[in-house]
Amino acid sequence: MELKEAIETRRSIRKYKNEEVSNELILEILKEATHAPSGHNIQPWRFKLLEKDEKNLIADKLSNKFINDKLHSAHNTADIIRNCSKLVMVFNEEAGNDFARDINILSIGGIIDEILLLATEKGLGTLWIANTNNIKDEIKDTLNVDLEPISCIAFGYKDQDPNKRPRRDFEDIIIK
Ligand SMILES: Cc1cc2nc3c(=O)[nH]c(=O)nc-3n(C[C@H](O)[C@H](O)[C@H](O)COP(=O)(O)O)c2cc1C
């Protein structure tokens, strides 16, 4: 698959088959993605691969946080975390000041997109999840990792074929 095809065919997948994605395949993708650029070449990203029990603990913490707000999209995200095969939690290395933090976050956004495209190329479905940023402290405690959780990525074999979500007209995003 060419890069262009991966970019055009990638979709956010929210329904996965009950089929395991191997840890080896996910680790291979993460390793390939580390060719991504990063500000000052700091490479601030850290990854923790979560399997069934641990990922479901994260899903439960997310649902519990919004127990009084049943309509919050976090509940859908929590169900997706339960349904996916594996979850990769992405952490940000400690930054010294706001500028350094900005650079780290930009760099992490970049590598996450590369991960999604590499996964698409390998036939996997993914979902970039930031709803978990509502429970940063709970994630740190649950996983015993003293770094800032920035996003997580759900992986699985897709059990849906979503239509492409609309994009803004190109003319509207080019400032003249
Ligand atoms: C930074 C970021 C955070 C996201 N967080 C969530 C999330 O928490 N839950 C979810 O269901 N989708 C999440 N998404 C997926 C977006 O909803 C999705 O990318 C967008 O609707 C476009 O659809 P597409 O990815 O299929 O092109 C997130 C996407 C990005 C880039």
- pLDDT, one tens digit per residue, over 11-26 is 999 999 999 999 999 9
- The per-residue pLDDT for 8 is 97
Amino acid sitting at position 145: V
Look at ligand 1, atom 31, and give the residue with the nearest C-alpha.
128
Q: Rounded CA gap, 109 and 44, in Å?
A: 11
Q: Is 72 in the pocket of ligand 1 (CB under 6 A)?
A: no
- Span from the CA of 131 to the centroid of ligand 1 (angstroms): 9
* CATH architecture designation of domain 3-161: 3-Layer(aba) Sandwich (3.40)
Q: Is 111 in the pocket of ligand 1 (CB under 6 A)?
A: no
Q: Give, in degrees to the nearest 5, the angle at Cα 30 between 77 and 85.
A: 40
Contacts with 49 (C-beta within 8 Å, 6 or more apart), sequence order: 23, 26, 27, 86, 87, 88
pLDDT at 173 over 90: yes
Q: To test the ligand 1 pocket, which listed residue (12, 79, 81, 114) has its Cβ within 8 A of the most ligand atoms?
A: 12
pLDDT at 156 over 90: yes
Q: Is 77 in the pocket of ligand 1 (CB under 6 A)?
A: yes
- Span from the CA of 113 to the centroid of ligand 1 (angstroms): 11
- The per-residue pLDDT for 52 is 92
pLDDT at 169 over 90: yes
- Which pLDDT band holds residue 71 (cuts at 50, 70, 90)? confident
- Span from the CA of 141 to the centroid of ligand 1 (angstroms): 25
Q: Rounded CA gap, 115 and 155, in Å?
A: 10
Mean pLDDT of the chain, nearest integer: 97
